[in-house]
Structure 1
Amino acid sequence: MSHPVNKIDAPTAHQDLHSERGALRGEHPGRSRNPVIKVADLAWLEFEKPDLDRAEIFARDFGFGVAARTEDALWLRGTFAGPPCMVIRRGHASRFIGPAFRAAEPADLDRLAHATASTVRDINVPGGGRSVSLLDPSGLPVRVVHCRDQLPALPEQPPLLLNTGGSQRRTNATQRPPREPSRIQRLGHVVMETRSFLRTLDWYLDTLGMIVSDFLFLDGQRGRGPTMAFIRCDQGGVAVDHHTLALHLGPGTGYVHSAYQVTDLDSIAAGGEYLAERGYQRSWGIGRHIQGSQLFDYWRDPDRFMLEHFADGDLFSCDLEPGWAPMSASGLAQWGPRVTRDFLGARPSPAKLREVMTALRGDNELDPARLLGLMKAMSS
């Protein structure tokens, strides 16, 4: 359902901490007044792939650990204690199934199941757990889970001790970061595309209690509402990742990329060299984003899914209001190489054309004006 403009009071002044602009009167408030529950974080992402051996080789090269492996499923993890980062199940084709979010308390699953006429079920996850399975308005499967036992922490890739202009912390010692995989610490966020942006956004806010950190809008179309949202979990005064989920309007539906935290810039760079030496394709990087501020480096796995190494992202508590900014390709990074067509998904193909035509004929939020605005934004 859509938010009426009076669902929650819009902020009257922008704190100007992360965006030059705040909301205008009557614009989307970026949060629900009375959500069903408030999820604590992403738990893992679910995929299907026909070749689990190939998937495991890339996963280890990218920096994941293996939490469990069976004939039909591969569970991947980071070094931090907690749930796995990803499960890849054996399937006939490579596809993204959906995200799983972590409930803060076991009772949240019962509350969510009651509100959505769903059922709480046991799940086969390392350590055991329970889940509620839902569909978002885009038709994407979404789980909310609570794991019985956490995976224990693993040894970390230690950050390098840096000398800066006014602080010389390292003397009589050299820097020689090893050429090895970036060691994944945890799953950070997932980005998804939808043809029904506002309905899908409101579902995540109303159902899972997430809140918006930043909105993007199309040049000349701000009055029609935002077309992208960077969304975080609401843990009150505890500062959390700038975005755990990002949604944007487009002709497709589903996965765009997912991001995994590593120790620091040297981990990103040395791990990237390791991936390049093994023939993997960099999609875009290295650079620093604007919304979220992360250091980033994007890669394609053998099945063409995009994954990101990131470090040094922004952390927001619940009291920071959404920023508003125009959507543009040049606005994706503070510094780094020019954004690639591969990252933007702008490579022309018959499949992309069919996707656009299907979207324009459907009952959704994508119309010719919106499509032209998106195309202009991705070339600006």
Structure 2
Amino acid sequence: MTIEIPAPPDLPGAAHSDLHSEHGRRRGEHPGRSRDPIIKVRDLAWLQFEKPDLDRTEIFARDFGFVVASRTPDELRLRGTFAGTDSIVVRRGPSSRFVGPVFRAAAVEDVDRLARHTGTRARPVAPGRPGRIVEVRDPSGIPVGVVGGAEEHDDLPGQLALPLNTGLTSQRRFTRVNATQRPAREPARVQRLGHVVLETPRFQASLDWYLDTLGMIVSDFLFLPGDRDFGPTMAFIRCDRGGEPADHHTLAMHLGPASGYVHSAFQVTDLDAIAAGGEYLTERGYKRAWGIGRHIQGSQLFDYWRDPDGLMVEHFADGDVFDATVEPGWAAMSSSGLAQWGPPVTRDFLGTSPARLVEALHALRADDNDLTPARLRALMKAMNS
């Protein structure tokens, strides 16, 4: 069950002014956290995909900046330079598809606790690999894993941030003297997995499931312009680590006609790594989906790309981190509200295609989701505003 915490009216000067959102929660709105979650996950562990061509997948992965952790004829494991688990596990399959996310539990005991509560069975991660994993499904039918005690890699040498003459003081104290700035045109070395974004027509049920089951908490809500009373239609959700800061969002979800993957994001060192790495990807013939810019919710510097199979992945840097004391912000959904600066959002990023129309028609025929013709029109209008 979600907590009901009294909230002040949404007025100028309230708790969220000059913090991360102009508006906070109104009385009676979703609190953005659960009263008594089953467990509290610590982070994403890895994402699972299937791909028909692992050779092509590996080439793109290296160009994007991943390190290959292991490779067999039927499985490719990718990691970043930071210590931790693999970031992506790709298994050979008949088509390119996202299988599901795997979250990292605080302890192996949490894996068993979740298995008991959900009536499932925990099992070893894989033959010869440490750790236990339990697999459940969210209300949209997306497979969600929770792992404890999984194998973790040591740090690797990373990409150093460039020293900057920022001009912050009038005393003309320079960081870089008698030295030029020449960032290498090379892959932006991925440091770690940051977040995954999912779409679901069962937004309200899915939101509550991640809060009640995995103990996650909301950083920001978006709502349809003119229809805030309906409730949120997008949520940026972080892990609850108490007083320890966590990424603004480890998971983001939005209402839409399909169930599944939108994009995943991977941290790199800084803006120069994003830009020089982007030039490298362009020279290699890959397609940019949107960027470079800086988001509003989460504040990340971003750059979105399509892999050879059309799945969207993001380089990001300099994202917000919140501890558990920060309450959700509320803002109206719009395409112009996706970035503080950068090029206009692209149709490619928004996912406008004839296939989307077919998905919408199927969703509207179903009676177990949050989509109505009016809400679908409002979503389309918001994404063109």
TM-score when normalising by structure 2: 0.95
Aligned to 2:16: 15
What are the superposed Cα offsets for residues 198-247 of structure 1, whole Å, 9 maximum, x if unpaired?
10000000000000000000011100101000000000000110000000
Residue 241 of structure 2: which of 235, 240, 248 is its match?
Answer: 235
Partner of 2:79: 77
Tell me the distance in 2 between the aligned counterparts of 1:282 and 1:10.
Answer: 44
RMSD over aligned CA atoms reads 1.2
* Aligned mates of 1:14, 1:237 — CA distance in 2: 19
Identify the residue that residue 112 of structure 1 maps to in structure 2: 114
Counterpart AA for 2:104? R
Query: For residues 197 and 269 of structure 1, what CA distance do their matches in structure 2 show?
Result: 34
Question: How far 1:313 sits from its partner (Å)?
Answer: 0.2
Q: 1:368 aligns with which of 359, 369, 373?
A: 373
Q: Look up the match of 1:177.
A: 183
CA drift at 1:126: 8.4
Q: Which amino acid aligns with 2:228?
A: R
1:207 equivalenced with 2:213 (yes/no): yes
Alignment partner of 1:320 is 2:347: no
AA matched with 2:76: L
Please tell me whether the aligned partners of residues 68 and 126 of structure 1 are also in contact (alpha carbons under 8 angstroms).
Answer: no
Please tell me whether residue 338 in structure 1 is matched to residue 340 in structure 2: no
Are the counterparts in 1 of residues 4 and 28 from structure 2 also a CA contact under 8 Å?
A: no
Which amino acid in the other structure matches residue 119 of structure 1? R
Residue number among 250, 260, 263 corresponding to 1:257 in the alignment? 263
Report the counterpart of residue 158 of structure 1 in structure 2.
Answer: 160
Moved more, 50-59 or 12-21: 12-21
Q: CA deviation at 1:10?
A: 3.9
The one-letter amino acid paired with 1:28 is: H
How far, CA to CA, are the matches of 1:223 and 1:90 in structure 2? 45
Displaced runs of 4+ in structure 1, greater than 6 A? none
Q: Deviation per CA, 1:291-338: give whole Å up to 9, x if none.
A: 000000000000000000000000000000000000000000000000
Specify the alignment match of 2:92 in structure 1.
Answer: 90
**Which residue of 307, 315, 319 corresponds with 2:313?**
307
Q: Is the 8 A contact 2:100 2:143 kept in 1?
A: yes
Aligned-residue offset at 1:109? 0.7
Deviation string, structure 1 residues 33-66 (Cα, Å, up to 9, x no partner): 1000000000010000100000000000000000
Q: 1:216 to 1:125 in 2, by over 3 A?
A: farther
Task: Check whether the contact 1:10–1:29 (CA below 8 A) recurs between aligned residues.
Answer: no
Q: 2:232 aligns with which of 207, 226, 232?
A: 226
Q: Which residue of 1 aligns with 2:133?
A: 131
Aligned length: 374
One-letter amino acid matched to 1:9: I
Aligned-residue offset at 1:127: 4.8
- Of 350, 354, 357, 2:361 maps to 357
Q: Aligned in 2, Cα 1:365/1:231: closer, same or farther, shift over 3 Å?
A: same
In structure 1, distance between residues paired with 2:83 and 2:283:
30
3-state SS in 2 of match to 1:89: strand
Q: Partner letter of residue 25 of structure 2? A: A
What do residues 228-272 of structure 1 show as CA deviations (whole Å, max 9, x unaligned)?
Answer: 000000000001100000000001110000000000000000000
Query: How much does 1:278 deviate?
Result: 0.5
Distance 2:187 2:240 in 1: 32
The residue aligned with 2:47 is 45
Q: Which residue of 1 aligns with 2:11?
A: none
CA distance in 2 between counterparts of 1:214 and 1:125 reads 40
> C-alpha distance in 1, partners of 2:211/2:115?
16
Mapped partners of 2:93, 2:181: distance in 1: 44
5+ residue gaps, structure 2:
9-13
Per-residue displacement from partner, 1:130-150 (whole Å, max 9, x unpaired)? 100000000000000013431
How far has the Cα of 1:357 moved from its partner?
Answer: 0.5
> TM-score, structure 1 length as denominator?
0.97
Q: How many angstroms apart in 1 are the aligned matches of 2:253 and 2:15?
A: 23
Conservation of the 8 A alpha-carbon contact between 1:213 and 1:320: yes
User: 2-side partners of 1:294 and 1:147: how far apart?
Assistant: 30
Contact 2:85–2:150 (Cα < 8 Å) also in 1: no
Other structure's SS at 1:343 match? helix
- Cα distance change of structure 1 residues 81 and 143 upon mapping to structure 2, 3 Å threshold: same
CA distance in 2, matches of 1:271, 1:118: 43
Q: Distance in 2 between matches of 1:236 and 1:293?
A: 21
Separation (CA, whole Å) in 2 of partners of 1:147 and 1:358: 41
Label 1:304 to 1:148 Cα distance change in 2 as closer, same or farther (>3 A). closer
SS of the aligned residue for 1:227 comes to strand
The corresponding residue for 1:197 is: 203
Structure 2: how far apart are the matches of 1:125 and 1:38? 27
Amino acid aligned to 1:264: D
User: Secondary structure in 1 aligned to 2:232?
Assistant: coil
Relative to structure 1, the CA distance from residue 233 to residue 200 in structure 2 (aligned partners, 3 Å threshold; closer, same or farther) is: same
**SS of aligned partner of 2:62:** helix
Q: Secondary structure at the match of 1:128?
A: strand
